[in-house]
Amino acid sequence: MSCSWGEAAVLVDAWLEDPSTHLGATVAGWYWPASTPELAGIALTRAVLFALSKNDDPAPLAFLFPWNKPPRAERVTRADVEQAEARLRRFTAFRD
């Protein structure tokens, strides 16, 4: 498959303007790509979670949007992994 330089430029321009592509999301400064339906779903989820929460501060739910930096993951120790694996083995329906 081949295309002209003009077609390639049109495609790249479209990708740059579309935040649902990795390129467009990166240029927009987002942490991950999201389409318009995904953003609508995130906004609805955020509204429902805020309505159900006892807290009047929506700040903890701000990370749901792609332009907000996700919360830093906690460090998991080897003991944490072993404890989780033991719990999983204890409650699994699939036995060896």
CA R_g for the chain: 21
Per the CB < 8 A criterion, the answer to whether 33 and 21 are in contact is: yes
Q: What is the rounded distance in angstroms from the CA atom of residue 84 to the CA atom of residue 35? A: 35
pLDDT band (50, 70, 90) for residue 89: confident
Q: What's the whole-model pTM score? A: 0.58
CA distance 65 to 29: 12
Closest CA to 58 of 69, 40, 43: 43
pLDDT at 22 over 90: yes
Categorize the per-residue pLDDT at 34 as very low, low, confident or very high, splitting at 50, 70 and 90: very high
Cβ pair 32, 65 in contact under 8 A: no
> Which of residues 95 and 46 earns the better pLDDT score?
46
pLDDT digits (tens, 9 = 90+) for 40-83: 998 888 888 878 777 776 666 667 788 887 777 788 899 999 99
Token pair of 70, please?
């996700």
